[in-house]
Chains A and B, each alone.
Chain A
Amino acid sequence: MTTAELVDMITVVIDGFEISVPKGTLVIRAAEKLGIQIPRFCDHPLLDPVGACRQCLVDIEINGRAFPKPQASCTIPVEPGMIVKTQLTSAVAEKAQRGVMELLLINHPLDCPVCDKGGECPLQNQAMSTGQGESRFEGVKRTFEKPVNISSQVLLDRERCILCARCTRFSDQIAADPFITLNERGALQQVGIYEKQPFESYFSGNTVQICPVGALTGASYRFRARPFDLVSTPSACEHCASGCSLRTDVRRGKTLRRLAGEDASVNEEWNCDKGRWAFKYVTSAQRLSHPLVRNSSGDLQEASWPEALAAAVAGLQGKRTAVLVGGRATVEDSYGYSKFARVALKTNDIDFRNRVTSNEERDFLATAIIKSEPTYIDIDRADAVLLVGFEPEEESPIVFLRIHKQVRKRGLKVTAIASKLSIGNEKLKANFISVVPGTEPAEIKKQELSAKSIILVGERASESSGSLSAVVELALKSGAKIAWIPRRAGERGALSAGAIGNLLPGARPVNNIEARVDLAAAWGVDSLPSDNGLGSEEIWAAANTGEIEALVVGGVDPMDGEKSHEALSALQKAFVISLEIATSNVTQFADVVFPVAAVVEKSGSFMNWEGRSRAFEAAVDSLQRSDLRILSMLADAMGLPISLPTVKAAAKEIASVGNWDGAGADFIATKPSAPHTLKKNEAILTSWRRLLDEGSLQEGEENLAGTARKTVVVISPKRAKAIGVVDGDPVCVSNAHGSVVLPVLVEEIHDDAVWLPRNSRGSHLLATLGVASGAVVSVVKE
């Protein structure tokens, strides 16, 4: 809320203290502002008030008229002339609260010593502040069979539950996944699932975090630690571009859990299950610990750092070299790669977009995105949201929650241009405009938006020629804002750091001489390369032709792009320096391998889709070095120093280099590609990555994988009829490259399209078919 917006303020008296709060503020929160803590359980500032637990009872009078009985302060908004007496000044409120606390405890087990929540438990804490030392209850406690697996990652101990309904309200109101509900009634009321539908929500972990007792626990943390043995570090999530604040809890050097951090302007108090429960990759058996150098007999063998650096310098000597950096690098690391390319390698051949991409996208990013600053607040205030090549729930889940919040609150209009109506977009009640690759630009141009609208563009918009050009045209015409929301956490930061062929750090166009001079001066070098560099696909191609002879590759999976065979042969041909946390598909081709620190082992920052940076410190002690440090050492060894010995130094330099405020480049529109003509049993392939899939950062997380959506191939009812299949029948999708066989799901999708998950168990399209979208494939009954 900006200060320009006038808010009615209401003055009330709480325990004798006056306070003015905005109209609509609940009594419990007005009291908080005075530092008066009224005990509570069901209350949660982001959930609708329910008044169920009755723990927050206080005495209230308004203009001299007292309520006859104590009121739940979590449900009553302040009113003029209100006088509130909490437990601190009212004996009635104090007794009411003690009474409720006693009742909450009669059926609560005394298993705190073995309960995960013990030590950080609101019930335990408030029982100390508001409860009796001894129970008067001598009867029989309620018991249940325990625990119940409500999904592969969440367990429920019903006898601990105090039925505050936080979890069920969260799943319904916030996540729109009402798979857990209060069942039965009275003293037998209990949280439950339908027996055949587990709590498979991408956001289920939040219920564990907001449970005020130990009733909901995460399978991977259960019985692992005591909260007081953990060291907590504020973190930034490395899994996507939503930009969540996280907290990483470590015991004896090992990450035991991650929790959603609080950031009202970004993730509020939520995160997704991937961000919460995918962190074991850091400790995988494939982790690299020492540099490796390929010896004369062609085998990789451990080497000392000086040996490895020397081998790298020798290998790069005199070779035209390009840099490929994956989309998960921190801002500082990307800056390191960017500067290393320009200063040590004297090239603009660098790209962070290690995926299906296009030059249309590169131009779009350098013109429409690099200087725009859309925010979550733009979603909060939008009159309409248009989704292009973007599935919020799968590709940026906190963006999904934010849109859903507005859909629920005020019926925000959402339009999705996509091949298939997704589960997430159904939950957003989106107006679904069915397209196949190639027909998007026309549909985009037809949209009617206003200056209060926002277009959320995903990285997949680059997969259909002309889509981004149509988005730019639509935005110009309507005044709507454009937000580009890549899937990976590092892409927006890498763009800012100039880890791309047409931009230098700080939005400086490569082909602008003033911009180059400005930066060269800041860096203390004579000049910077002036030609636009190659994109990732062009780099692979050039390496295959021998035009490029060496590659510096950091955090890249060659299987992530189309024509992955070309990438593999390029790696084979070129001299390859690999910077990796663990053995990867690059390692087998690398000539020099440098082990790097994982996110939790280093400091840095991630820039989310808004362009908002979130800095973090190392959560775990480690001897591993950041990419940046290694690049700096390598540049030193090459005699072309980039002078970035630490993350702190890089951050300082990024700040001082600043953003270029001169003219940017002009966008040149790209035409849509010609439509495909389809023969019998042919369809156009469409796909996206699901949030929970076989992504490398989810390795080893079996509990998490258990809640992934089922791998299916989706076709329309018309096509199903044509090839004679019903739900569940095996269907084969194939091209000259390979085939995938999966059970079919018949639902709302463009008749010409077929949809499969891009990288899920049993469906690895880029590896199997060599394409992920827009290509003609055969779809037949298996």
Chain B
Amino acid sequence: MAFTEDNVKTMDSMIARYPRPRSAIMPLLHYVQSIDGFVTNEGIELVAKKLDLSTAEVTAVSTFYTQYKNKPVGEYHVGVCTNTLCAVMGGDAIFSALKEHLDLENDGVTPDGKVSLEHLECNAACDYAPVVMANWEFYDNQTVQSAIDLVDGARAGNPPAPTRGPDVLPTWKQNSAVLAGLNDGHANEGVQAGAPSLLGLEISKVQG
């Protein structure tokens, strides 16, 4: 997709956040994904031009970080944590169930472009294991069935809400814009904390 003049202005505002332009490369690449869905050649060339870098230098950065994709992902990108703790607690079972259910391999995308699947490393929610992420929103304490419901809902255009996140699951592109630092107005939605986060506090109140 072509980048509009407004897109370029937004990029300029991201560059202006930093004392040195090159620092903006990460938000700019998130932003490219919010428009193109992944890091396109056009995006690389534009970022290189904006930051006065060679295209190779931009490629070097975009291929280092796993959230930057070099090919399209689904409208709903589903990640299953299969790091040790989640894997043991059920993450492995969920991931293989989803692969079978969607008929996908790791990094695959459903033919309708709705859902892509990836196994993840630890996502900092171990007290909610097993954890599944969709467009980098938390789906805590998952089971095989709840994960299947999530991807089925996503394919039908009606995914369930995250357990700790906005009221409605945004698309991959919408959330990429959030990661680029743009405010989508959903910060106040969702719980402030899940039950495990409050456990110690609860106990301390009992302790008195």
Interface residue ranges, A against B (CB under 8 Å): 177-185, 192-197
Q: Is the CB of A194 within 8 A of B63?
A: no
Residues of chain A contacted by B53 (CB below 8 angstroms): 178
Interface SS majority for chain A: loop
Q: Is the CB of B41 within 8 A of A195?
A: yes
- Whether, in the assembled complex, B154 has its beta carbon less than 8 Å from a beta carbon of chain A, the answer is no
- Whether, in the assembled complex, B59 has its beta carbon less than 8 Å from a beta carbon of chain A, the answer is yes
- Cα–Cα distance between A192 and B59 once the two chains are bound (Å): 9
- Size of the B side of the interface (Cβ < 8 Å), in residues, is 13
Interface residue ranges, B against A (CB under 8 Å): 41, 44-45, 53-60, 63-64
Known contacts A194-B55, A196-B55, A197-B54; A181/B41 CB under 8 A: no
Known contacts A183-B63, A184-B63, A184-B64; A196/B56 CB under 8 A: no
- Cα–Cα distance between A194 and B59 once the two chains are bound (Å): 6
Q: Is the CB of B63 within 8 A of A179?
A: no
Q: Name, among B53, B58, B59, B60, the residue most crowded by chain A CB atoms within 10 Å (CB to CB).
A: B60
Known contacts A183-B63, A185-B64; A196/B57 CB under 8 A: no
Report B74 CB to chain A, min CB distance, Å. 23
Could you give 7 example pairs across A and B, Cβ below 8 Å?
A178-B57, A181-B54, A183-B64, A194-B54, A194-B58, A197-B55, A197-B56
Known contacts A184-B64, A195-B41; A179/B54 CB under 8 A: yes
- Cα–Cα distance between A566 and B57 once the two chains are bound (Å): 51
Report B151 CB to chain A, min CB distance, Å. 28
Q: Is the CB of B54 within 8 A of A178?
A: yes
- Cα–Cα distance between A195 and B59 once the two chains are bound (Å): 9
Q: Is the CB of B56 within 8 A of A179?
A: yes
- Cα–Cα distance between A182 and B59 once the two chains are bound (Å): 9
- Cα–Cα distance between A184 and B64 once the two chains are bound (Å): 5
Q: Assuming A179-B54, A181-B59, what are 11 further A-B pairs, CB within 8 angstroms?
A: A181-B54, A181-B56, A183-B59, A183-B60, A183-B64, A192-B63, A193-B56, A194-B54, A194-B59, A196-B55, A197-B56
- Cα–Cα distance between A67 and B187 once the two chains are bound (Å): 49
Nearest-CB residue, chain A, relative to B52: A426
Nearest-CB residue, chain A, relative to B66: A185
- Cα–Cα distance between A184 and B58 once the two chains are bound (Å): 12
- Cα–Cα distance between A178 and B60 once the two chains are bound (Å): 10
Residues of chain A contacted by B44 (CB below 8 angstroms): 194
Q: Is the CB of A178 within 8 A of B56?
A: yes
- Cα–Cα distance between A394 and B19 once the two chains are bound (Å): 34
Nearest-CB residue, chain B, relative to A181: B60
Residues of chain B contacted by A196 (CB below 8 angstroms): 41, 45, 55
Q: Is the CB of A194 within 8 A of B56?
A: yes
Nearest-CB residue, chain B, relative to A184: B63
- Cα–Cα distance between A183 and B55 once the two chains are bound (Å): 12
- Cα–Cα distance between A489 and B26 once the two chains are bound (Å): 47
Residues of chain B contacted by A183 (CB below 8 angstroms): 59-60, 63-64
- Cα–Cα distance between A690 and B51 once the two chains are bound (Å): 27
Nearest-CB residue, chain A, relative to B62: A183
Q: Is the CB of A180 within 8 A of B56?
A: yes
Report B42 CB to chain A, min CB distance, Å. 11
Report B29 CB to chain A, min CB distance, Å. 14
Q: Is the CB of A182 within 8 A of B60?
A: yes
Nearest-CB residue, chain B, relative to A199: B56
Nearest-CB residue, chain A, relative to B44: A194
